[in-house]
C-alpha cells in the first residue's frame, strides 16, 4: 500500500510540474503574439439590459443597528465554597468550589447594537 501511495505522489508531482511549465510557456507565447487588431474589424458591444453600470466596492465596517426588545435565555453560574473538614476517621478533606450552571429567561429592552457588515459590491441602477 505504501508503494502505491508513493507512486501516486510521484505521478501527482510530475503532473503539477508539467502543468506549471506548460502554463508558463503559454503565458510567454501569448504576450509575444499580442498585436493590435486591424482597423477594418468591427466589434460591437450591446449594452441593452445592462443595469449595473456604476458599481463600487464597500469595505467591511461596523454599523449601529436597532434591536427590538426581546426575551433571551441567560446563563447563570452559582458558585458555592465548601470548607475543608476532618471526616470521622481523622482524614483531612480540602475545601473546594462547586459550580452549578442554570439558565433563566430575562427580558432585554430595545437597544442599539454594533454589528459587522461584510464588504460588498454596491451597484447603482440607471
CB 63 within 8 A of CB 117: yes
Calculate the average pLDDT of the chain. 79
User: Which of 80, 83, 84, 75 has the alpha carbon at shortest distance from 99?
Assistant: 80
Confidence label for 37 from pLDDT (cuts 50, 70 and 90): low
Q: How large a percentage of the chain has pLDDT more than 70?
A: 67
The pTM of this model reads 0.34
Contacts of 46 (CB under 8 A, 6+ apart): none
For 10, the grid coordinates are 510521484
Amino acid at each position: 500500500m505504501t508503494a502505491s501511495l508513493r507512486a501516486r505522489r510521484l505521478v501527482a508531482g510530475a503532473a503539477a510540474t508539467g502543468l506549471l511549465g506548460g502554463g508558463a510557456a503559454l503565458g510567454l507565447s501569448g504576450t509575444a503574439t499580442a498585436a493590435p487588431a486591424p482597423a477594418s474589424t468591427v466589434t460591437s458591444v450591446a449594452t441593452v439590459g445592462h443595469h449595473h453600470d456604476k458599481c463600487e466596492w464597500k469595505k467591511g465596517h461596523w454599523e449601529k443597528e436597532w434591536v427590538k426588545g426581546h426575551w433571551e435565555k441567560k446563563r447563570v453560574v452559582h458558585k458555592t465554597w465548601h470548607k475543608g473538614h476532618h471526616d470521622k476517621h481523622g482524614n483531612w478533606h480540602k475545601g473546594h468550589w462547586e459550580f452549578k450552571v442554570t439558565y433563566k429567561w430575562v427580558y432585554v429592552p430595545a437597544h442599539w447594537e454594533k454589528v459587522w457588515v461584510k464588504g460588498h459590491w454596491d451597484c447603482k441602477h440607471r
